């Protein structure tokens, strides 16, 4: 149960609102696919990528775009095939390693760790790889290394809110929930803060002992029964 709760807690905070890669491809068609992914239209990106690959099966940028689109659509096995083909054609592809690593996070965080470290060998300051590496460490219970990785991501990009949120959650998991609350409050109090961020603050409040405060935040989006189940799941994280 704790494992499931931890996965649900960390993974959405890792990727929400983040563009997976910044690749700068020259090919016009793949630029269209990238734009479609950024616009929240992975189905269009998939069609464009498939059209490119029909004429050029080894086109690495198109394989990566296809992998990203399939991942967003929840077609993870197909995404893995696409990323693996890209990595086979370009053994130094940071994007392919990150894509495969993200697919491994839920089932095999140790393997994900290896993939993210491989990506960082080629691009040591890659903020996405650093942030995702932190998640892999957290899922294995190594919160100290996780926090170091999140801080490196923030050093690379101080405005990376995903890494900031993950750092706070990792601190809460590591017995520093009051500090996590102080980090998350300014972010969650923003009028445009997403629901997920409010829930992250609720996690930190619950883990700091303020279940009443956590329930108050959750009440904006959940029924009383849902709040009870959620607080129970949060309680599992303390054990």
Mean pLDDT value of segment 198-213: 92
Q: Residue with structure tokens 């957290």?
A: 138
Binned at pLDDT 50, 70 and 90, residue 238 comes out as: low
Q: pLDDT tens digit string along 124-165?
A: 999 999 999 999 999 999 999 999 999 999 999 999 999 999
Q: Please tell me the distance from the alpha carbon of residue 121 to that of residue 79, in angstroms, as a whole number.
A: 23
Provide the pLDDT confidence category of residue 176 given band limits of 50, 70 and 90.
very high
Each residue's pLDDT tens digit, 103-128 = 999 899 999 999 999 999 999 999 99
Q: pLDDT value at position 192?
A: 82
Is the Cβ–Cβ distance between 79 and 92 less than 8 Å?
no
**pLDDT, average across residues 169-190:** 93
Could you give the CA distance from residue 174 to residue 14 in angstroms, rounded to a whole number? 18
Cα-based distances in Å from 109 to 4, 101, 104, 105:
13, 8, 6, 5
Q: What is the pTM of this model?
A: 0.87
pLDDT reading at 6 higher than 70: no
Say if residues 142 and 113 touch (Cβ distance below 8 Å): no
Q: What is the DSSP letter of 114?
A: H
| Closest C-alpha among 66, 1, 58 to residue 33 | 66
How many CA within 13 A on the CB side of residue 16?
17
Q: Give 234's contacts (C-beta < 8 A, 6+ positions apart).
A: 5, 202, 203, 206, 207, 214
Domain regions of the chain by residue span:
26-160
* pLDDT tens readout for residues 13-34: 555 434 444 334 446 778 899 9
Average pLDDT over residues 93-108: 96
- Convert 29-52 to b/e letters by CB count within 10 Å (16 or more is b): bbbbbbebbeeebbebbbebbeeb
Give residue 29's pLDDT.
79
Listed range (2-11, 70-79, 91-100) with the worst mean pLDDT: 2-11
User: Residue 25 has what pLDDT?
Assistant: 41
Local structure of residue 75 (DSSP, 8 states): -
Residue 126: CA atoms inside 13 Å, Cβ hemisphere, count?
A: 23
**Per-residue pLDDT, 21:** 40
As a whole number of angstroms, the distance between CA 50 and CA 48 comes to 5
Read off the DSSP letter of residue 26. Answer: -
Task: Give tens-digit pLDDT for 28-65.
Answer: 778 899 999 999 999 999 999 999 999 999 999 999 99
Domain topology for 26-160: 1.25.40
Rg of the chain, C-alpha, whole Å: 19
- In angstroms, the CA 80 to CA 64 distance is 10
């Amino acid at each position: 149960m704790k494992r499931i709760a931890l996965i649900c807690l960390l993974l959405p905070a890792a990727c929400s609102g983040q563009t997976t890669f910044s690749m700068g491809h020259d090919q016009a068609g793949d630029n269209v696919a990238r734009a479609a992914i950024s616009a929240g239209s992975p189905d269009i990106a998939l069609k464009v990528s498939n059209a490119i690959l029909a004429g050029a099966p080894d086109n690495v940028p198109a394989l990566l775009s296809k992998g990203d689109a399939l991942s967003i659509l929840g077609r993870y096995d197909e995404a893995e095939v696409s990323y693996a083909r890209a990595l086979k054609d370009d053994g130094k592809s940071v994007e392919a390693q990150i894509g495969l690593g993200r697919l491994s996070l839920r089932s095999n965080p140790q393997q994900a760790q290896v993939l993210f470290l491989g990506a960082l060998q080629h691009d040591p300051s890659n903020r996405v790889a650093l942030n995702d590496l932190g998640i892999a460490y957290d899922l294995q219970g190594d919160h100290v290394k996780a926090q170091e990785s999140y801080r490196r991501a923030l050093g690379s990009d101080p405005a990376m809110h995903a890494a900031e949120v993950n750092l706070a959650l990792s601190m809460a998991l590591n017995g520093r929930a009051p500090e996590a609350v102080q980090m998350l409050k300014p972010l969650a109090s923003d009028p445009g803060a997403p629901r997920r961020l409010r829930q992250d603050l609720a996690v930190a409040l619950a883990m700091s002992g303020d279940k009443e405060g956590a329930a108050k935040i959750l009440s904006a989006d959940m029924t009383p029964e849902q709040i009870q189940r959620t607080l129970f799941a949060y309680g599992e994280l303390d054990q």
